Amino acid sequence: MSKEILVIGGTGNVGEALVQELVAKGETVRIGTRRPEKVSVAGAKAVLVDLDRPETLGPALEGVDRLFVLAPAGEADHVRLLAPVVDAAAERQVKVVLQTAIGVEADDNIPFRQVELRLEKSGVPYVILRPNWFSDNFESYWGHDVLAGEIRVPAGEGKSSFIDSRDIAAAAAAALTTDKFDGQAFALTGPEALSYGEAAELISKATGRTVGYRSVDDSEFVPAIVSAGLSPDYAQMLAAIFYPVREGWTAATTDAVEKLTGKKPRTLAAYISENAAKFIPA
């Protein structure tokens, strides 16, 4: 494989780590971003990609034979944003590695699943990655709660096999640099399932401060995360996908990360220990 790889979403947690993985493998990488002038990564080139402007896709794909794409954080309209990417890749016969979310194959009406189906029917080589809830969410989405001393999400006592974004990136890098996984979908998980209460205990142990957990209902959860800066539509989507957590559907573990990368995924405890300073108020 000698052409270039386009990473759409190359400035987020997964994307940044993926670009580093690919550059380390000697690949020629483009980072698709709305503001290429503000992105500078050694060994990679930033190009304009704005998913709200599908006309930016064609120039970005010139000379590209492989593509990684995920939905931007905070965006709920997955079909509108991602379908044009699939179509542009299909028109140019570009392989697509698509990141969606665990469990979306359960219902063809789920927007992420609609994008997957479009890709499966596109005729281009593809790999679909369906990660579970991110370990990184405790720093990002739930970071304010952690610093305040209480995680408040509508998870009940449900458990999730949290996955480190770096393991998702490593899996994506593997999918992009070989064809042996083409035509497959992988549920990416960490090595163990933990409840949010257990996660709070891990944070408490790592930081030496007390962090609790309280399961809340949607009427409390949605306004709280909207006030933290998320859009109402995205907040409602997050609330909806906590239902599978409460039902125990996100507790399964798989060997997909190891199958793709040859390495076992990181534990949530390791992530928290490594990032303990970020869970302590300044």
As for how many domains the chain has, the answer is 1
Span 206-254, pLDDT tens digits: 999 999 999 999 999 999 999 888 889 889 988 999 999 999 999 999 9
Cβ distance 245 to 158 under 8 Å? yes
List alpha helices for the chain, DSSP H.
13-24, 57-61, 78-92, 111-120, 143-148, 165-176, 196-207, 218-227, 232-240, 243-246, 256-261, 268-274
Q: 31 in a domain, yes or no?
A: yes
Q: 94 in a domain, yes or no?
A: yes
Span 164-215, pLDDT tens digits: 999 999 999 999 999 999 999 999 999 999 999 999 999 999 999 999 999 9
Q: 183 in a domain, yes or no?
A: yes
Tokens of 134: 């991110």
3-state secondary structure 108-142: CCCHHHHHHHHHHCCCCCEEEEEECCEHHHHCCCC
pLDDT of 74 > 80? The answer is no
Provide the percentage of residues in the chain whose pLDDT is more than 70: 99
Q: Is 241 helix (H, G, I), strand (E, B) or coil?
A: coil
pLDDT of 2 > 60? The answer is no
Asked which of 34-38, 82-86, 255-259, 275-279 is least confident by mean pLDDT, the reply is 34-38
How far, in Å, are 39, 108, 258 from residue 168 at the CA level?
A: 22, 24, 11
pLDDT of 1 > 50? The answer is no
Span 116-164, pLDDT tens digits: 999 999 999 999 999 999 999 999 999 999 999 999 999 999 999 999 9
Q: 174 in a domain, yes or no?
A: yes
Q: Which domain holds residue 75?
A: 4-134+162-190+251-265
Q: 228 in a domain, yes or no?
A: no
CA 13 vs. chain centroid, Å, equals: 8
Q: Kindly report the CATH number assigned to the domain that includes residue 129.
A: 3.40.50.720
Q: 148 in a domain, yes or no?
A: no
Q: 280 in a domain, yes or no?
A: no
Task: Give CA–CA dist 272/151, Å, rounded.
Answer: 14
Mean pLDDT of the chain: 95
Task: Give CA–CA dist 238/76, Å, rounded.
Answer: 9
pLDDT of 56 > 80? The answer is yes
Confidence class for position 19, pLDDT limits 50, 70, 90? very high
Q: 98 in a domain, yes or no?
A: yes
